[in-house]
A and B are shown apart, each in its own frame.
Chain A
Amino acid sequence: MLTYAIKRIALAAVILFVVMLAMYGMVFLVPGDPASVALGPRATPALKAMLTERMGLDQPVAVQIWRFFANAAQGDLGIDVWSKRPVLDQILEAFPQTLLLGVVALSWALTLGITLGVLAVVYRGTLIDRALGLVSVSFISVPSFVVAIYLLLIFAVWLQWLPAIGAGKAGDIPSQIKALILPSLAVGIGWVGYLARMVRASMLEIMAANHIRTARAFGLPERTVVTRYALRLAIVPTISVIAVGLGSILSSAVFVETVFSRPGIGTLITGAVFKRNYPVVMGTVLFTTAFYLLVITAADLLIAKLDPRVRDALAR
């Protein structure tokens, strides 16, 4: 397993390199420059040239990549073209917010989603199953910005229970938690439905297996049969979906971050792409890629841990 982990890390390094290479290729392709976006006609050619130089884009691509990795190795992800703030600082400010949002949203999804999925299996074919089906599919299909707006309207405007915007005061944990509830719901609700349906699907398949009959034949309580014998197996396919999802929450939460005015990696990267603030784009992509690889590798290891057959297949 450790050798597998080592191989996986080596692979991750290669992936990072490939991703950055692709990013540089894209920078080369995509039209537009930061000065024009920010200033429109006031962007003087001198200013444009200065920014291009500041972003290092006047160098040959090989040099750019080499510099990027050499600096990144020393913890320097470059500086923002405008504010000249280190990109790493911006990432480190935005990242915890997004991570928190993602993790909380995912916890909703995991707790609610799995519960709904399991309930649907337990009550398979009954009205409850069907009602849960309707609810979870509706969760999936209502776009998150619509959810966000209505949550805002109900809980912040009408009821005034929760704050409408922001991520809470720094250092004030209760206010941060309050500020997290609505956005995490808006992000998580689709996932709730998603997980509920997936768990139901894989559980149904497993509940028909012989070993479930064995577990029942030993008089195991139905709860144990469902959770330990069926769910444990059923969760395996959902793990890779969750991992890919958590990886993409970094960038897909933009809409919700916008509506709730929360800072975050998604906003950072999307904003930087649209503003052609390439040092921020590059630094953030390196960071998010590393994070994504971490998550997906952890997921791979978790799958291998949960399913010994996968472990053996990978050990070969």
Chain B
Amino acid sequence: MRWPADSRALRALIRDPMGLMGLVLVTLFILMAVAAPLLAPYDPVALDVRAKLKAPSFAHWLGTDQLGRDTLSRIIYGARTALTIALTAIGLAGSIGILLGLIAGYGPRWLDAALVLIFDALNSLPMMMFALAIITVLGPGTGTLILVVVLVSIPGYARLIRAQTLSLRSADFILAEQAIGASTPRILLHHLLPNVFGPLCIVLSMDIPVVIMLEAGLSYLNLGVKPPTPSWGNILYDGYTAIRTSSTLVIAAGAPLVLATLGFTFLGEGLRDALDPRFATARPR
């Protein structure tokens, strides 16, 4: 059975101005991604080289890119790729990282050693080489991109969780759960996880822009989105090459990235505070 803690958490979240801001921003971005066709003033891939790198104007609020495409429309559509890839990759990497980290920290020592071996080995492989190898095996595509991002992010997350789990594994309340016969998965997920999730929650939300940039970097290895599909990452890179000609592009693509990160980070922090019973109501002095 469930106890009415969840609605309370939501209320706590909304009462925290930063949490509320995070929630609003994230909702807006998700809405933007979903309703892109309704919102975008132009076709994001329609090009007009004669109108390249135009400064912002009434016709093009955020100007145009180096092929004369409307930046605003590309950014609105770009939210789709950026958010789907970032959220899927972070979600997957986060969940797997958490699981492996918990197992490594709580399980028998040999299992810990084996997992640490995997984490460290994965982390040692040069990303480009690794990506190239995976593409060769699995072929290019968004799935492969996500796989690469997930594999390279897991070790960091898992290690964070592992270290924290190690310091809690013989806490009294864990022993108490063992004593009432709670199964290991239950102890991991119900009792350890909520107590080690705080820092990771922050890291996950902060990694969203990292993944968005990574997507753009890797799309040059033929991973991820194919041109001309817009994504914030590739708009930023386009902006980079044109940075001296027109900085509008970098700024226009940088701003939603910053805002989305703000949104996710504050939502993450707000959620974490809201879920922690000790913070849920305590007002700062």
Interface residues of A (CB under 8 A from B): 7, 11-12, 14-15, 18-19, 22-23, 25-26, 29-31, 124-126, 130, 133-134, 137-138, 140-143, 145-146, 149, 193-194, 197-198, 200-202, 204-205, 208, 236-241, 243-245, 247-248, 251, 269-270, 273-274, 281, 284-285, 288-289, 292-293, 296, 303, 307, 309-310, 312-314, 316
Contact = CB atoms under 8 A, between A and B. Distances in A.
Contact of A23 (B109, B125, B199): B125
9 contacts: A15-B124, A26-B133, A137-B265, A141-B257, A204-B273, A241-B159, A285-B124, A296-B123, A309-B167
A281 B129 contact: yes
What is the interface residue range for chain B against chain A?
35 or more
Interface string B54-70: 00000000000000000
Chain B interface SS verdict (over half): helix
B120 interface: yes
B109 A140 contact: no
B240 interface: yes
Interface stretch (B3-11, B38-46, B277-285): B277-285
Interface centre among B132, B133, B163, B269 (most CB of A within 10 A): B163
A293 B124 contact: yes
- Rank and list the top 3 A-B pairs by shortest CB-CB distance, nearest first: A125-B284, A141-B261, A26-B133
A237 B262 contact: no
A149 B242 CA distance: 12
A316 to B, nearest CB: 7
Contacts of A293: 120, 124
Chain A interface SS verdict (over half): helix
A315 to B, nearest CB: 10
A134 B262 contact: yes
Contact of B243 (A11, A149, A194): A149
Given A208-B279, A314-B166, 13 more contacts: A15-B117, A15-B121, A30-B136, A126-B284, A137-B206, A143-B254, A200-B202, A208-B278, A244-B123, A269-B128, A270-B128, A285-B125, A314-B109
Nearest to B284: A125
Interface of B: 17-18, 105, 109, 113, 116-117, 120-121, 123-130, 132-133, 136-137, 155-156, 159-160, 162-164, 166-171, 198-199, 201-203, 206, 209, 213, 236, 240, 243, 250, 254, 257-258, 260-262, 265-266, 269, 272-273, 276, 278-279, 282-284
Contact of B269 (A7, A25, A197, A236): A197
Contact of A133 (B18, B124, B282): B18
Nearest to B259: A141
B136 A130 contact: no
B250 to A, nearest CB: 6
A11 B116 contact: yes
B123 A273 contact: no
